[in-house]
């Protein structure tokens, strides 16, 4: 299953990039308050699926696609309300969330078991 492996790697990289973006955004690049803010805690839910995705667990990919939608929603809100660097970071967050969701769904589809009726 080379396609499934590719989707797994792409989803994992998207998750890691989203995690790094959330941390760097709220700690250094454009925090809400100088010196960082408590909004950095939004990165914690991204740690939960990390090991399952590194191991290629199908169930983890199923629910992480739903988690990505929360980050997409935050990106939409912040892109619409903030300007400058924060606005651009919000667009990057939206792009990474979409990539994570799409790659996770593609991995789930590539690894599904086919029944004898489908063949």
Both tokens of 99, joined, read 């990539």
- pLDDT score, position 1: 58
Question: Exposure of 92 by Cβ count < 10 A (0-12 exposed, 13-18 middle, 19+ buried)?
Answer: middle
Give CA angle at 80 (79, 86), nearest 5°. 35
User: How far from 79 is each of 6, 25, 74, 83, 100, CA to CA, in Å?
Assistant: 30, 13, 8, 7, 19
Query: What is the pLDDT averaged over residues 82-90?
Result: 95
Tell me: pLDDT of 70 over 70. yes
CA dist., res. 35 & res. 46, Å (int):
22
14-62 per-position pLDDT tens digit: 999 999 999 999 999 988 888 778 888 999 999 999 999 999 999 999 9
Whole-model pTM: value is 0.90
Domain boundaries, the chain: 2-110
């Amino acid at each position: 299953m080379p396609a499934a492996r590719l989707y797994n790697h792409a989803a994992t990289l998207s998750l890691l990039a989203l995690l790094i973006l959330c941390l760097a955004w709220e700690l250094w690049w454009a925090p809400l308050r100088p010196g960082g803010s408590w909004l950095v805690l939004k990165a914690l839910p991204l740690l939960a699926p990390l090991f399952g995705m590194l191991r290629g667990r199908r169930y983890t990919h199923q629910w992480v696609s739903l988690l990505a939608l929360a980050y997409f929603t935050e990106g939409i809100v912040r892109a619409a309300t903030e300007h400058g660097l924060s606005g651009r970071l919000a667009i990057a967050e939206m792009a990474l969330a979409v990539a994570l969701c799409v790659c996770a769904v593609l991995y789930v589809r590539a690894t599904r078991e086919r029944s004898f009726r489908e063949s």
